[in-house]
Structure 1
Amino acid sequence: MLATNLLEFKKGLTELNKVSDKDPILVEEYIDGQQYLAEIIVYKGKLTIVCILEQDVLRKKRFIVLGYQFPANLSSDQYADLEIAINTIIKEIGLENGSCHLEFRYVNKEWKLIEINPRISGGAMNKIIYHGTGINYVKEIVKLHLGEEPLIETNRTECVYVRYVTVEKKGVLLKVTGKNRAKKHVGVKEVYVKPRKGSILTPPLSMGDRYAYVLATALSQEEAKQFALQALKEIKFIIEPL
């Protein structure tokens, strides 16, 4: 929750305490800027950056990532600085074997770590990496944990864009239309719809409240995004309000 003044801060604390007055509340500085995600894997101390993506973040009641673009549009200097930052962080936490994803914002020519998780990013991430690079990243993570050396070799390079669907009002899902039409759009590789008829849908308060996505590929980042957004218009959630 973003608080830009003392009144909003107090209101946010009150709202969070209504959910649970026992759980701790994390307060942190808000850093404004483009957000990026890095997927990395470490085997016997050797770090490999699998991919860097740009994220499109919905900034309403909560911060929800709605879009992922691969590859990220970074200059050579930005990438070099990010590589240094990632290596510094991984060395600091002492990771010798494992995978994780890190989220950053780039502000005033500096990389600021927003979040780090000891797993692959959820949702469509493995699909994004596969369609963009040919790497089955989950398979390589499993190999790592079986004691085998992961093989992170790109055998194709395509631009990928994924866009998620959320809803504006709470209600009971009656039906979803447009999935098959979305699949027929140029560049579309994946269309996924999560909820079934009768599910209760709500406006997004967490990443779990993203109910569908379209994944598209193209030769350019702009085309991949355009293809995904055009196909996304086909998907409609028919909801009976609560």
Structure 2
Amino acid sequence: MKSDGVLILSHCGFSFAEDLVAACHARGLDAWILTSKPLPEHGASRLAALQGMVEELFVTDAHELSTRDVENAIASLRGRGFCIKGCISVWEGYRALMAYGNALQSVADLPWDRVEQLRDKLHVRLTLKDAGLTNVSAQTLTPAVLEALKHDRGAYFVKPVRGIASYGAFRLTQETTWSALEAVASQAQKDTVYTSVLGTQLTFMAEEYISGTEFSFEVLAVAGTPFVVGIHEKCQLTEGDGTVLENSCTSPPSSLTGDQIAAGLSWIASVLTCLKLDWGCFHIEARFDGYRWGLIEVNPRVGGSLISRSVLALNGTASLLDLWLDQLVFQSDGKPSPDYIRAVAELSYSKEGVAPTDEATFFRVYFASPGRIESIQVEPTEPAPVLTQVLLKEGDEIEPAAREVFIGQILWHMPREQRDRDLTRLLASSATAIAVRYQAAEPRKDSRA
């Protein structure tokens, strides 16, 4: 008997492939992966790893998937009698392709063109301003606009109109030059992994700088109803070197009152309604200045790093990835399963701003510096983490880049009461939990990630 399954769209052989395959198999579903060609340094070994974990593997000859690739994979599976319960991808560059694949299977999801509109950050900003949901102005950046903004000495933030991984996102200063932006654009064109998202002609925008503490809302929209299953407070942000690095996060927020969270939830619902985001998973980044919520950006996907795993640790039942997958596979005739609605509601914040459990998480991401890695060592911490991932290895060469490059990440889980008591200490002790030594010219020095 032919099995039901899910088509996973993978970028260059990765994109949370292991997590997605495990989630499919846990639900008794086959996992079929359609991946673009891996980079040369991963090549055959990565394809062999994927082949060993899935029921079917489709590999293209290009580093970027296309609509034709999705059509061919679906046709192959359907031609052999398989039932495709849904198409999913956590790679933002393939979110529209995911929507396209789901439309071919009559699976409820965002329309393709709405995903494309959402990825245009300038369009989103202007749409929300017209609706009164933000008071932040934004415009396309040109050499003349850049000089005018520097001249008025206001606070502005620069980022690509279509961006990812904080690539080329930074605060505008008097030292910002058009040639520096051109250098970032040139670098993006040579970055095989990110070219499909950033495009060959990188356009920048400038917007008024949004002050306040930054948070992310982990949202599932189901037939027009939003459910917030996690809110992460960004404890540390580092701005510089052409990007913004999110060093550590905790959930639930440690600095917000219930009323402030409730106001944020209401504002998030208005943003989703304004942008017509009625289906899908969203990682919505925002800042709160003590009075007003301000949007950073809306990402139509699961949050990166350990966001999904953090949600699982918080509720003890399902990760964000699990909940998004269930939204796709547990629906009939474009309508969500009532059991799914009940399950998500139980794992979500109440409209009064109350978290679904009394648990808390803290995670830290460690970023690489340019150079060749000589050694990586994981140091013990108290409390011990529940998950440690080291993503690079000795001998890896890190090139200068205007984007984040992960060395590793660590997740801690504890009762919220303990988090509130120990957060300051944990922030300090976790900072050097992954220690990295880089090869360097004399004199040789230690560098902490």
How far apart, CA to CA, are the structure 2 residues paired with 1:227 and 1:27? 35
TM-score by length of 2: 0.48
TM-score by length of 1: 0.85
Q: How does 1:83-98 map to 2 (within 5 A)?
A: 83-98=265-280
Which structure would you say has the larger RCO, counting Cα contacts within 8 Å and 6 or more residues apart?
1
Partner of 1:162: 363
Residue 17 (structure 1) shift: 4.8
Q: 1:22 to 1:79 in 2, by over 3 A?
A: same
Residue 50 (structure 1) shift: 0.8
* Percent identity of paired positions between Structure 1 and Structure 2: 17
* SS of equivalent residue, structure 1 residue 128: helix
Residue 237 (structure 1) shift: 1.4
Q: 1:126 to 1:94 in 2, by over 3 A?
A: same
Partner of 2:412: 216
How far apart, CA to CA, are the structure 2 residues paired with 1:189 and 1:111? 32
Match of 2:382 among 185, 197, 205: 185
Partner of 1:4: 173
Q: Specify the code of the residue in structure 2 equivalent to 1:237.
A: V
Task: In structure 1, list runs of 5 or more residues that go unmatched.
Answer: none
Partner of 2:373: 173
- Is residue 220–residue 281 contact of structure 2 (8 Å, CA) maintained in 1? yes
Which has a greater percent of strand?
1
Q: 1:133 to 1:204 in 2, by over 3 A?
A: farther
1:46 aligns with 2:225: yes
* SS of equivalent residue, structure 1 residue 239: strand
Q: How does 1:62-77 map to 2 (within 5 A)?
A: 62-72=243-253, 73-77=255-259
Partner deviation per Cα, 1:83-103 (whole Å, 9 max, x = no partner): 121111111122222111100
Match of 1:205 among 367, 380, 402: 402
How far apart, CA to CA, are the structure 2 residues paired with 1:107 and 1:11? 33
Q: 1:201 to 1:90 in 2, by over 3 A?
A: same
Q: 1:74 to 1:204 in 2, by over 3 A?
A: farther
Q: Specify the code of the residue in structure 1 equivalent to 2:213.
A: Q
For the pair shown, which has the larger CA radius of gyration, 1 or 2? 2
How far apart, CA to CA, are the structure 2 residues paired with 1:41 and 1:31? 25
- Is residue 85–residue 111 contact of structure 1 (8 Å, CA) maintained in 2? yes
- Is residue 187–residue 227 contact of structure 1 (8 Å, CA) maintained in 2? no
Q: 1:160 to 1:225 in 2, by over 3 A?
A: farther
Partner of 2:35: none
Compare 184-193 and 137-146 and name the one that shifted more.
Answer: 184-193
* SS of equivalent residue, structure 1 residue 188: coil
Q: 1:16 to 1:205 in 2, by over 3 A?
A: closer
Q: 1:78 to 1:9 in 2, by over 3 A?
A: farther
Q: Root-mean-square deviation (CA), in Å? A: 2.5
Compare 99-108 and 85-94 and name the one that shifted more.
Answer: 99-108
Q: 1:16 to 1:201 in 2, by over 3 A?
A: closer
Residue 156 (structure 1) shift: 4.7
Q: 1:76 to 1:156 in 2, by over 3 A?
A: closer
Task: In structure 2, list runs of 5 or more residues that go unmatched.
Answer: 1-169, 190-199, 332-336, 348-355, 442-449
Match of 1:31 among 210, 223, 235: 210
How far apart, CA to CA, are the structure 1 residues paired with 2:438 and 2:314? 34
Q: Specify the code of the residue in structure 2 equivalent to 1:206.
A: R
How far apart, CA to CA, are the structure 1 residues paired with 2:274 and 2:409? 35
1:233 aligns with 2:432: yes
* SS of equivalent residue, structure 1 residue 27: strand
Q: Specify the code of the residue in structure 2 equivalent to 1:97.
A: W
Aligned length: 236
Which has a greater percent of helix?
2
1:120 aligns with 2:319: no
Residue 3 (structure 1) shift: 1.4
- Is residue 188–residue 227 contact of structure 1 (8 Å, CA) maintained in 2? no
How far apart, CA to CA, are the structure 1 residues paired with 2:177 and 2:260? 33
Partner of 1:60: 240
Compare 34-43 and 140-149 and name the one that shifted more.
Answer: 140-149
Q: Specify the code of the residue in structure 2 equivalent to 1:8.
A: T
Residue 70 (structure 1) shift: 0.5
Residue 10 (structure 1) shift: 4.2
Match of 2:393 among 196, 218, 233: 196
